Chain A
Amino acid sequence: MSSLNDTPAPDPRSRELVPAAAFFLPLVALGLLLPAYSLLAVNQHLLLAVNVLALNFCLGLGGQASLAQGAFCGMGAYLSALVVSACPESAAITLPVIIVVVFVFGALVSYPMEQLGEGFLAMATLGVSLIFTNVVLSLPELTGGGEGMVLHVPITLPGIGALQGDRLHYFLFLGLLALGAYLYVTMRSTRLGRALMACREDPLAAAACGVSRPRVRALAFGLGAGLSALAGALYAHYAGFISPNQFDLHLSLKALLFLVIGGPGRLYTPLIAVLLLETLLSEAQLLGEARTMAHGLLLAAALLFDPERRLPGLASLVPRSLRR
Chain B
Amino acid sequence: MVLLYLAQTINSGLALGAVYGLMALGFSLVYNSSRLINFAQGELLLLSGLGLFSLTQAFSLNPLVAIAAAGIWGLMLGMVLYATTLGFSLRKHPLKQLMLTVAASMTWQGIAILAWGKEPLMLPQMLPFSSVRMGPFFFSQDTLTALALAVGSGLLLSLFLRHTRWGRAIRAVSMNPLAATLQGVNPRKAYACTFALAGLLAALAGMAVGPQTMLRYDMGLGVGLKGFVAATLGGYSSLGKVFLGGICLGLLEALFILTMGAELKEAVTYAILIVILILTPHKERQTARA
Q: How many Å lie between the Cα of A324 and that of B174 in the bound state?
A: 11
Asked if A124 and B274 make an inter-chain contact with CB atoms under 8 angstroms apart, the answer reads yes
Asked if B37 and A320 make an inter-chain contact with CB atoms under 8 angstroms apart, the answer reads no
Q: Please tell me the number of chain A residues within 8 Å of chain B, measured between CB atoms.
A: 54
Q: Say yes or no for A220: interface residue by CB 8 A criterion.
A: no
Asked if B107 and A296 make an inter-chain contact with CB atoms under 8 angstroms apart, the answer reads yes
Tell me whether A116 and B277 are in contact in the complex, defined as CB-CB below 8 angstroms, given that A293-B111, A311-B95, A320-B91 are known contacts: yes
Asked if A303 and B99 make an inter-chain contact with CB atoms under 8 angstroms apart, the answer reads yes
Q: In the complex, what residues of B have CB within 8 A of residue A292's CB?
A: 106-107, 109-110, 113
Q: Say yes or no for B160: interface residue by CB 8 A criterion.
A: no
A63, A122, A204: the one contacting B98 at CB < 8 Å is A122
Q: How many Å lie between the Cα of A275 and that of B144 in the bound state?
A: 52
Q: In the complex, what residues of B have CB within 8 A of residue A187's CB?
A: none
Asked if B93 and A315 make an inter-chain contact with CB atoms under 8 angstroms apart, the answer reads yes
Q: Say yes or no for B64: interface residue by CB 8 A criterion.
A: no
Binds A, one of B125-133, B244-252, B278-286: B278-286
Asked if A118 and B273 make an inter-chain contact with CB atoms under 8 angstroms apart, the answer reads no
Contact indicator per residue, chain A 57-71, by CB within 8 Å of chain B (1) or not (0): 000000101000000
For residue B106, which residue of chain A has the nearest CB? A296
Return B278 CB to nearest CB of chain A, in Å.
5
For residue B118, which residue of chain A has the nearest CB? A289
Asked if A297 and B228 make an inter-chain contact with CB atoms under 8 angstroms apart, the answer reads no
Residues 263-281 of B contacting A (Cβ, < 8 Å) = 263-264, 266-267, 270-271, 273-274, 277-278
Interface residues of B (CB under 8 A from A): 35-37, 39, 84, 88-96, 98-100, 102-111, 113-114, 118, 176-178, 181, 187, 221, 225, 228, 261, 263-264, 266-267, 270-271, 273-274, 277-278, 282, 285-290
Q: A113-B277, A124-B278 are in contact. List 16 more A-B contacts (CB 8 A).
A: A63-B95, A118-B95, A119-B35, A120-B285, A124-B274, A127-B273, A260-B99, A289-B113, A292-B110, A295-B106, A300-B107, A303-B99, A304-B88, A304-B89, A304-B100, A313-B93
